[in-house]
Amino acid sequence: MLTATAIALLVVMAMALARALLGPTIYDRILALNVFGTKTVLLIAVICFTLGKPEFLDIALVYALINFVSVIGVLRYFEFRSRRGDGQVGEGAPHD
């Protein structure tokens, strides 16, 4: 059962990575990378449970925190960049 869970997580991670590479807007790419990071945390937790090594859960928690903070930082960067008018943030987004 845990093997099926790990395989399913790897499939979802591959789909998220494909979305990050093909996403039409920067927001699609950021969301896909956030999903990839979240699934990585889940995969680490499944591996911890499978191997019986709970000390790896600390690594998963630190990775989750880094993932969260980095996504917020990247979104803030693009928010301020779009306010200044330095570039197009949503390449595929409809215009008003």
Which two structure tokens, joined as six digits, stand for 71? 């996504």
Query: 69: closest CA among 57, 59, 61?
Result: 61
pLDDT the model gives residue 14: 95
Query: 20: closest CA among 6, 47, 38, 8?
Result: 38
List pLDDT tens digits, range 39-61: 999 999 999 998 888 888 998 99
pTM of the model as a whole: 0.76
Nearest-Å Rg of the Cα atoms of the chain is: 17
Cβ neighbours around 23 below 10 Å, total: 17
